Homo-oligomer: A and B are copies of this chain.
Amino acid sequence: MFQVIKKSKKSNARLTKLTTAHGTIAGPFFMPLATRGAVKHLSTDELADLGAQILLANTYHLLLRPGPGLLQRYRGLHQFMNWHGPILTDSGGFQVFSLGAYRKITEDGVAFSDPQNGNRYFLSPEKAIGIQRAIGSDIAMVLDECPAYPCTKTYAGRSLELTSRWAARCKKEHQKKKGTQLLFGIVQGSVFKSLRVASARQLTAIGFDGYAIGGVAVGEPRKKMVQVLNWTVPELPENKPRYLMGVGRPEEIVAAVRQGIDMFDCVIPTREARHGRLYVWNYLERGRREPLLSPRSEQRLRPSRLLKGEFYKTINITQAKFAKDLSPINHTNLKQYSRAYLHHLFKTNEPLGMRLATLHNLECYLVLMQRIRTSINQGVL
């Protein structure tokens, strides 16, 4: 069940509530990536402490290892990975299509081989649903084809027609068994207005529990993503969740919320953490005697682009200037550790460094989402 609790008067932002088999999620929300059934370096207890409401896992990766058979024996991924909140599974279309020479697409589905050991697989819309059923995710995604950027309008058009036919097959397969799992469609159409509109209309005609916008954050200019949302969102039903796949940086998330998006996932906070790149956000800097951030030091965005009076930058903790920085990593979940210590952990390749950096970046993202929800509720976003 999905409810729009409140609609902003200043933008298309909305405060939402999505009920799944494993709990209710307040939106707009961000999903940390547990691609292979684990968020890198973190335990599920830590994710719960961070306030993560839902995790994202990947059908393609779980198909290869550990395989749907084991997950079925386990009665699903939740128990396997010890996460008892909601899980969304991406269908794996994006990953399969990234395989290039290793895969072949037909009307029926896509044949591919595991680059690691050469094992052959065939993923059809029906199989994608079957695997996601074995995984037991709360939200399943249809199998889609995600064209690369840039691509020709002809290719994008043919591709989205295939995606729509596959979406219909997914829906049909999904309906065969009653259950609580939700199924989302994925709008494609690259950066072409008519195609995005057509894709959205075809999917809404089939009817899904929610709608994702795919084929963005694949290398197109940021302006294009804004346009894609401008074209697509008005075509989607008001009373269903809208999910912008693979997005993005904090300012992109805030902008997309303003355009009416409810759900996000992105590899950025966790991957950048592993490279020592940390978000420094003035909200989490509060109380710091000598703030690293001042409005002048703000690099990427104008204050208006995030929340009122709020801005961030990223730092690389491995830089020499942090060797002697005794100030805490942040003032919330990592106040007991200094930047100097985190610098030391990265310089000595101590794995605890990546873990602390991941905890910090996810804290930034999850607190940002919380603040976005509060801002909508207070009528200021």
Contacts and interface: CB of A to CB of B under 8 A. Distances in A.
Chain A, interface size: which category? Answer: 35 or more
Given A338-B80, A341-B80, A43 B323 contact: no
Contacts of A201: none
Interface in A334-367: 336-338, 340-341, 343-345, 347-348, 350-355
Contacts of A354: 351
A22 interface: no
Nearest to A350: B38
* Among A61, A340, A343, A352, residue most surrounded by chain B Cβ atoms (within 10 Å): A352
A65 B340 CA distance: 11
A271 interface: no
Contacts of A326: 73-74
Contacts of A304: none
Contact of A352 (B38, B323, B337, B352): B38
* Among A38, A74, A347, A353, residue most surrounded by chain B Cβ atoms (within 10 Å): A38
A216 to B, nearest CB: 27
A42 B73 contact: no
Interface in A69-85: 70, 73-74, 80-82
B40 A341 contact: no
Interface string A312-350: 000000000001101000000000111011011101101
Considering the complex of A and B, which 5 residue pairs feature the smallest CB-CB distances, nearest first? A38-B350, A38-B352, A36-B348, A66-B344, A82-B336
A37 B344 contact: yes
Given A73-B326, A324-B73, A42 B340 contact: no
Contact of A350 (B40, B73, B352): B40
A127 interface: no
B38 A337 contact: no
A344 B43 contact: no
B70 A352 contact: no
Contacts of A275: none
Given A37-B345, A41-B355, A351-B354, 7 more contacts: A39-B352, A42-B352, A61-B348, A66-B340, A74-B338, A80-B341, A80-B344
B65 A324 contact: no
Given A36-B348, A340-B80, A348-B36, A324 B70 contact: yes
A355 B80 contact: no
Nearest to A359: B43
B344 A65 contact: yes
Contacts of A74: 326, 338, 340
B80 A36 contact: no
Contacts of A61: 348
A40 B345 CA distance: 10
Contacts of A350: 36-38, 40
A326 B82 CA distance: 13
A39 B345 CA distance: 11
Nearest to A347: B65
Nearest to A80: B341
Nearest to A341: B80
